[in-house]
Amino acid sequence: MALTLYSAKGLHRNPSVKVRKISYVIDPILFLADAAGKVRGQFSLVNGDPFIFLADAAGKQRGKFFLMNGNPVFLLADAAGKQRGTFCLVNGNPILNLSDATQKTRGEFKLLANGDPSLGLYDVEEKSRGSFYLNNGDPRLSLADASKKIRGLFCLADGDPGLNLLDATGKVRGTYALMDKGDPNLLLTDATQTIRGAFYLKKEGDPRINLCDAAGKQRGIFCLANGEPRLALADTTEKARGLFFMENGNPNLVLADAAGKTRGEFIMDGDNPKLGLADAAGETRGVFHLLNGNPSLLLADTTGLTRGEFTIDGANPRLGLVDSQGKMRGAFYLENDNPNLILGDATGKIRGWLRLMNGEPSLTLGDAMGKPLWSAP
């Protein structure tokens, strides 16, 4: 390895030249060369400031270190000699820049004026697309689109993490955060900033989903109540119009009108399904259910009194008609596979009985006391 000192102002090698006085300062230069004699490094002073560069085997400078206005600067270059990284001090604060092959800045790591670190990411047009920094000591991550508008923000608010998603106009469209008690909360909003959906945990720890219309009215709820799932649907006035839930492990479906009155109910009564229909006054007018495994249909009047019943009694169908006083006025059924028709009066007494016996028709008429008065054959 050779060590040569040169003058930064010039060289004086001619022995016939007599130098009586040098009125300038000679800046030292130190070269480092490889076995092939190629310069691989240089250390020198430029105007009193240190300057270092490192070169590769091809002689291309790959790194530089120098002072600029008293601030240190360190540069890194690729094999083509293009600057790819810069580490320096700006106003006393360190800053690191990373560049792509076209020498466009793609990343920047620096300290802000308050001493907080900041990391910025840039696209091929050198537009800021993401930043990671501290905001009053809390970390914050933001993502931006091609127009440099922030589209996503992940940060700590009062120590709790929160994620915001924004549309192209800068309006928040989604928020995922922790509520006061540390429970997660997800909110979705439309272009008017109206909340359209919410997913969160209730104070009991059960999950709940709310769906809202464009006016912000709650139209649907899906939640757990005492560990059982429950789904509620509401109209534009936020009145519940439909409810689907589990009770004691059995599914229940309830439908209501605009006044909030239950108009339909489909439930499991034990192991038997049951369907009930009600009028506008809330009175049950019809019930269809299984009784001991047999289907049964009940029809009621406006007072809730059963007026008609159609059932299967064992293997035999049965139809009964009742008047407004609750008296049986007519019955049609099968007995031992033989049809029977019974008619009763206002007191519930049987006044007529038509049936088949051994394939032969039989008619019996009763008096006011219900005693047989006449029969044929």
CATH number (domain holding residue 33):
3.90.930.1
The confidence score (pLDDT) of residue 311 equals 86
The answer to whether position 79 is within a domain reads: yes
pLDDT at 224: 86
With bands split at pLDDT 50, 70 and 90, how would you rate the model's confidence at 156? confident
Domain count, the chain: 2
Asked which of 189-193, 224-228, 240-244, 321-325 is least confident by mean pLDDT, the reply is 224-228
pLDDT reading at 25 higher than 90:
no
Please state the rounded mean pLDDT for residues 39-52: 89
Contact between residue 255 and residue 262 where contact means Cβ atoms under 8 Å apart: yes
Residue 4 has pLDDT above 50, yes or no: no
Q: Is residue 134 part of a domain?
A: yes
Q: Are residues 2 and 73 in the same domain?
A: yes
Same domain, yes or no: 40 and 111:
no
pLDDT tens digits for range 279-312: 888 888 898 888 777 888 888 888 888 888 888 8
Share of the chain above pLDDT 70, in %: 90
Where does the pLDDT of residue 375 fall: very low under 50, low under 70, confident under 90, or very high at 90 and above? low
Q: Are residues 80 and 122 in the same domain?
A: no
Q: Pick from 113, 144, 178: which residue ends a domain?
A: 178
Residue 185: inside a domain: no
User: Could you tell me which of 133, 98, 131 has the C-alpha nearest to residue 117?
Assistant: 133
pLDDT of residue 292: 77
Q: How confident is the model over 77-99, as a mean pLDDT?
A: 90
State whether 53 and 3 are in the same domain: yes
- The mean pLDDT of 68-87, rounded to a whole number, is 91
If asked whether residues 130 and 160 sit together in one domain, one would say: yes
pLDDT at residue 373, rounded to an integer: 64
CA distance 132 to 173: 21
Span 76-80, average pLDDT? 91
Q: Which two tokens stand for residue 143?
A: 């993502």
Do residue 109 and residue 173 come from a single domain?
A: yes
* Residues 131 and 63 occupy one common structural domain: no
Does 307 map to a domain?
A: no
**What pTM, to 2 d.p., does this model score?**
0.62
Specify whether 5 is located in the same domain as 85: yes
Tokens linked to 287: 């019930």
pLDDT at 46: 84
pLDDT score of 15 more than 70: no
Burial of 143 (0-12, 13-18, 19+ CB in 10 A): middle
AA letter at 361: P
In angstroms, what CA-CA distances link 259 with 168, 236, 287? Answer: 42, 12, 22
Residue 344 lies in a domain: no
Burial annotation 67-106 (CB, 10 A radius, 16+ → b, else e) = beeeeeeebebbeeeeebebbbbeeeeeeebbbeeeeeeb
Domain check: are 1 and 78 in the same one?
yes
Q: Is residue 239 part of a domain?
A: no
Domain end position, chosen among 42, 57, 90: 90
Averaged pLDDT, 223-240: 89
Q: What is the mean pLDDT of residues 150-166?
A: 87
Handedness of CA 190, 193, 196, 200 (dihedral sign): positive
* Encoded tokens for 193: 């900033």
Residue 33 domain-assigned?
Answer: yes
Q: Is residue 74 part of a domain?
A: yes
**Residue 173 domain boundaries:** 104-178
Q: State whether 148 and 172 are in the same domain.
A: yes
Residues 68 and 114 in one domain: no
Q: Are residues 55 and 110 in the same domain?
A: no
Which among 124, 143, 178 is the end of a domain? Answer: 178
Residue 221, pLDDT score: 93
